[in-house]
Structure 1
């Protein structure tokens, strides 16, 4: 397992900030401090699993920084811990979506509770709890395995080798996106999509088709079913990852 990394963002590296960093470092995690400028935050993001925003003496980051942090958290599927006085915490909460805020601490900070929250977050991140979940549905086991290998580092990936197996799996599990083979025997992709949209429990799940046919008529047939999108099966790994990232950013 790679070493967990925490970034602390504040206006200055105060004594209390150094204490919190040292406490977390003692657990074996890597910690670094940056001031709240876009350049410093950007330069320190590599490998970061958790962002902590520390506000002291009424100091607050500007709305431009909070907007940048929001985009960063969304892009990297991270969450943030906020430390500050009640008005400062509320200010940040008014500008950052609640689902991106893992926990808040009012000053003075209970060091043990703070370290406990950080280690709990790292454990959840390591288990994939914060990753978007994708279900791949395809009757070709080799193709299923290839796509899973491509995606598993970024997403929580599940697989089903038939439409009926997918429907059964979705009866007990939730998912953020379904990648659905258009050309499957027995129960085709369009039939599966129809079943999903006729059920109140699954009709809102985004579906993207996987298709091996790239001619105009075949593509028009796929598009006419109004999925959230489609991918040709000859798509390369980097393009697929890029397109999926764009999808999740646009569908917050």
Structure 2
């Protein structure tokens, strides 16, 4: 009888990608080393990704995002390039960043269905769970309903996000085609859709959503800056979940959303 060979567990080879080395990253490095992982670093100054032994090691990447990455296009573009490269090498990618960045970057920098996200301040026990192949408890990052705002005016979209972010997870895109791309990768519970947008307007986006089985049942509330009778009738003919005038107040918007989300 031939003795069955035991499967040798591969050592974790973890590459931490960051713009600059920091005290927190040092703590992550120490934790991973204690777990028996082989750890290497990639920074903007030294962005060469080290080689590894695929037969003996299992490679993973941790992307440690800088604060306010959306406000620094140099760091954003560098991270985007690194992510594009490593996403072709490995399916095991953990991203560490601020909750607000997670909402902004979903569908733009990262495909959230292919990465595992950890909010700052980082909990080492959650990192250990992901490194060892486990899953975070149900409800982590999913306790709030997810609303997508589609509006070509980023200032208005960010204002609405500030109004509702304590109650909902909020993502923003600024063009109709971006919304379609985002929704192909990220599930949402409701869409706030600007009716008046250039190139592909809200009505066209709504019709595209209705043609796709994966999006046709998502509640859509139109945002419109024009409140005349003809405009309202044009909006209602499309049979959305509802519509809101952009001149509405924070309190009225929240009341409106709470009513519709509660009935979902």
TM-score w.r.t. the length of structure 1 is 0.49
Question: Which structure: greater helix fraction?
Answer: 1
